[in-house]
Copies of this chain bind each other. A is one copy, B any other.
Amino acid sequence: MSRPQPLSRSAFQVFVPITTRWMDNDVYGHVNNVTYYSYFDTAVNTYLIDQGALNIEDGAVIGLVVETGCQYFEPVSFPENIEVGFRVAHLGNSSVRYELAVFRQGASSAAAQGHFIHVYVDRQTRRPVALPEVFRSVLEPLS
């Protein structure tokens, strides 16, 4: 299996700063592999909310995650702070593939990188819907 190379910051358009937490470190002294996905979730949803596309409480359309993946290149540890960069790799009719990376403060190449696929659904029926215009308009610049 060919292992991907760490991407550099220039591969990403949007960066969301995240503060690490005491509990992020596991018994081996580094951020646990699980926690990176929490960084990913947080970065994309922060962007979508800040841009006025996603309304967690009342919006008619919400994003459900159908696939995720991550490669880990070097450890990150509390209390260092990080930035998550992301881009839109595929903008489908009702799904979006996000590619993301975790950068340690001041680092130019990714400590970890991954992806997740959101399917946008009607909040009530949970059936896929065409991506609303407000989502499309804030995601297209990242693709």
Are the CB atoms of A69 and B66 closer together than 8 Å?
Answer: no
Number of interface residues of A (CB under 8 A): 40
User: Which of chain A's residues 46-101 have a Cβ closer than 8 Å to chain B?
Assistant: 46, 49-50, 56-57, 62, 64-72, 78-79
In the complex, A42 has a CB within 8 A of chain B? yes
- Choice from B67, B72, B78, B116 contacting A42 with Cβ under 8 Å: B78
Chain A interface residues (CB < 8 Å from chain B): 17-23, 25-29, 32-35, 37-39, 41-42, 45-46, 49-50, 56-57, 62, 64-72, 78-79, 116
Which B residues are CB-close (under 8 A) to A65? 33, 72
- How many copies are assembled? 4
Give the CA-CA distance A56 to B39 in the complex, in Å. 22
Are the CB atoms of B72 and A67 closer together than 8 Å?
Answer: yes
Which B residues are CB-close (under 8 A) to A67? 69-72
Which B residues are CB-close (under 8 A) to A71? 66-67
**With A66-B71, A68-B69: A41-B50 Cβ-Cβ less than 8 Å:** no
Are the CB atoms of B21 and A23 closer together than 8 Å?
Answer: no
